[in-house]
Structure 1
Amino acid sequence: GEARRQARIELAVVGFLTAAPGVVVGLRGLNDPASVDTEIAVLDLIGLVVASFGPAVLVAFLLWREGSLRLAGFGKPRAAPTVGWGVVGVLACVAAVLVAATVLGIIINLTGGDPQRTTDSGPDVSAAVGSIVAALAIAATAGISEEAVYRGYGITRMEQAGWPRAALWAPWLVWTAQHLYAGPGALLVVGAVGIPLVWLFWWRRSIWPVVVAHALYNVGVFALNVFVLD
């Protein structure tokens, strides 16, 4: 029907605006993996945060305009369930990373590859206060913006477009591809992290526990790099 056609056109437009630039720029990560730089000026950080929220604001507006915010998981959050399921989500993400790291290690051993070029060492973080603040800001921003776009909006709109099965894997696949900049090995890890996030949203039908899980995972990665690996 007309509603499905409009949903599909809107998905294509939003996908092009929000995902295409990151995927294209990230292609260089296949040969030259990079990490998130947290040693940036204050104004640059503010600009990065504002720009990162842009896609989330866009999809929230599109959903609000037609009264689908609650359907897409943007209903009023309740503190205890949100935090509780967020913790469950981040634990599931950690378990997924351990499985992915094991598989990646087996692949590297079998192929004789260089781990430095196939795995993601995480964001480049120093223990400076400014870098820690930047890391926390980036972690929170990514947790909110990416979940709003790829879980809340992406899954819901694909269901409305008549693709309920693809709704579970297509937004996850695009979200994973957004991390091409970190290298091929990182894609396996990021993809593994995304699976529990998709499951949590599908089960709870709320983006807020997923946002908490995603943000906690990001903060954990930053902390690991600062206090353990640095």
Structure 2
Amino acid sequence: MSDALAEAPGRVRPGPEVLLVLGVSLGQSAVYSLLSIADKLTRPQPLGQQTTTINASVTPDRPWLDLGYQLAGMVFPLVPALLALYLLRLTGDRARIGFDLSRPAKDLGWGFAIAAGIGIPGLGLYFAARALGLNTTVQPANLAENWWTIPVLVGLAVMNGVLEEVVIVGYWFTRMTQAGWGVAAVLIGSAVIRGSYHLYQGFGGFVGNLVMGAVFGWFYLRFKRIGPLVAAHIILDLVAFVGYSLIAPYVDWL
């Protein structure tokens, strides 16, 4: 394959490709999230009195089947991320996004720092939005108790981190820059999409993830690596999923 042909899909007309990737991944999630918040806002019960359940068991009475559902729910969402990486590889852009194991210790260290900087204010925003009636009560881990519960929650955290940062940062920033978008437009677009597919939680979830998207986007523009962002996202979700499952039974404020 010639260089011109190899570059054509991503460098000449990235728009349709981006729409297709988003259409089978986070763009689709954003549409369903908009429908979800519309549903919640039109219920008789106020938004602040509603509960959003995440990572729930499908067949709690049959643990073996439930495990199958959970594994499928981890594997299939990763396919769009693999597709994005494959498309970036076709145009020679795969290595440029910084998703590799060339500096794991440094990426992990940055991941912890970013997670702390995002997670602590984000938790405060969540409680404030919930108190103001602008957000639902989010229950991030609702799996039945089994030997595989914690490993599955860890797997779900890894899936979320890889999917979101590969698609909405590494892939999005690369392709939209190639499409001729300015830096500000690319950054704002990424942040808005991230906030939109969290709207199902309420407006606090939208604003919190909008800010997170802006911070993550700035970091990527500055350092050109999504490795630390993937690590930070996984750490945030591990705290939310595993921490909630361990603490929630003993407290009444979550």
* 1:180–1:187 Cα contact (<8 Å) kept: yes
For 2:219 and 2:30, how far apart are their aligned partners in 1?
25
Q: Say if 2:127 is the partner of 1:92.
A: no
- Secondary structure of the residue aligned to 1:121 is strand
Q: After the TM superposition, which residues 130-145 of structure 1 pair with which residues of structure 2 at under 5 Å, given as runs? A: 130-145=148-163
Counterpart of 1:55, as a letter, is P
Counterpart of 1:184, as a letter, is F
For 2:172 and 2:68, how far apart are their aligned partners in 1?
30
Give the one of 213, 218, 222 matched to 1:203.
222
Q: Which moved more, 1:211-220 or 1:173-182?
A: 173-182
* 1:147–1:210 Cα contact (<8 Å) kept: yes
**TM-superposition CA deviations, 1:122-142 (whole Å, max 9, x none):** 413356443322211111100
* 2:78–2:163 Cα contact (<8 Å) kept: yes
Question: Between Structure 1 and Structure 2, whose CA radius of gyration is higher?
Answer: 2
Q: Say if 2:96 is the partner of 1:78.
A: no
Q: After the TM superposition, which residues 110-189 of structure 1 pair with which residues of structure 2 at under 5 Å, given as runs? A: 113=133, 118-125=135-142, 128-163=146-181, 164-189=183-208
Superposition TM-score, scaled by structure 2 size: 0.76
Relative contact order: is structure 1 or structure 2 higher (C-alpha 8 Å, sep ≥ 6)?
1
Counterpart of 1:64, as a letter, is R
Counterpart of 1:82, as a letter, is D
Q: Say if 2:215 is the partner of 1:215.
A: no
For 1:59 and 1:188, how far apart are their aligned partners in 2?
26
Counterpart of 2:234, as a letter, is A
For 2:202 and 2:218, how far apart are their aligned partners in 1?
25
Counterpart of 1:84, as a letter, is G
- Counterpart of 1:53 in structure 2 is 78
- Secondary structure of the residue aligned to 1:34 is strand
| Equivalent residues, number | 221
* 2:14–2:176 Cα contact (<8 Å) kept: yes
Counterpart of 2:168, as a letter, is Y
Counterpart of 1:19, as a letter, is L
Q: CA deviation at 1:120?
A: 4.2
Structure 2: segments with no counterpart, 5+ residues: 1-7, 41-50, 59-65, 250-254
Aligned-pair identity (%): 24
Cα separation, partners in 2 of 1:96 and 1:160, compared to 1, 3 Å: farther
Counterpart of 2:171, as a letter, is Y
- Secondary structure of the residue aligned to 1:124 is coil
Counterpart of 1:67, as a letter, is G
Counterpart of 2:71, as a letter, is I
Q: CA deviation at 1:213?
A: 0.2
Counterpart of 2:151, as a letter, is V
Q: CA deviation at 1:5?
A: 4.8
Q: CA deviation at 1:121?
A: 2.2
**TM-superposition CA deviations, 1:53-99 (whole Å, max 9, x none):** 01101110100011111222235431221111111111111244146
Counterpart of 2:244, as a letter, is N
For 2:142 and 2:222, how far apart are their aligned partners in 1?
34
Counterpart of 1:27, as a letter, is L
CA RMSD between the two structures = 2.5
Cα separation, partners in 2 of 1:165 and 1:101, compared to 1, 3 Å: same
